[in-house]
């Protein structure tokens, strides 16, 4: 299994779409970067924390390649 972390403007819709891709085993949403070690959705929505909303994908590279995930992403 491999992992991809993709930064998005909002993670809820894309997480659902990625979870339906054949070969994606698990999805998880969260935040990367930013000024605070821990943050909340409400804080991130202010635009002042410098966090990016991200989706973490656990995927099987024998079924779907990282390049195919990126193609779907873009």
Query: Using CA atoms, how far apart are residues 8 and 11, in angstroms rounded to an integer?
Result: 6
CATH number of 2-73: 3.30.1060.10
The model's pTM is: 0.83
Domain boundaries, the chain: 2-73
pLDDT tens digits, 3-24 = 999 998 777 788 889 999 999 9
Burial 35-52 (b: 16+ CB within 10 A, else e): eeeebeeebbeeeebebb
Catalytic residue among 2, 6, 9, 10: 10
Confidence at residue 35, expressed as pLDDT on a 0 to 100 scale: 86
Query: Annotated catalytic, 10?
Result: yes
Residue 32: enclosing H or E segment and its boundaries?
strand 24-33
């Amino acid at each position: 299994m491999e992992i991809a972390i993709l930064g998005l403007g909002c993670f809820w819709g894309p997480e659902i779409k990625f979870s339906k891709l054949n070969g994606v085993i698990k999805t998880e949403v969260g935040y990367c970067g930013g000024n605070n070690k821990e943050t909340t959705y409400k804080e991130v929505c202010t635009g002042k924390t410098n966090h990016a909303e991200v989706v973490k994908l656990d995927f099987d590279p024998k079924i779907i390649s990282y390049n195919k995930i990126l193609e779907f992403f873009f």
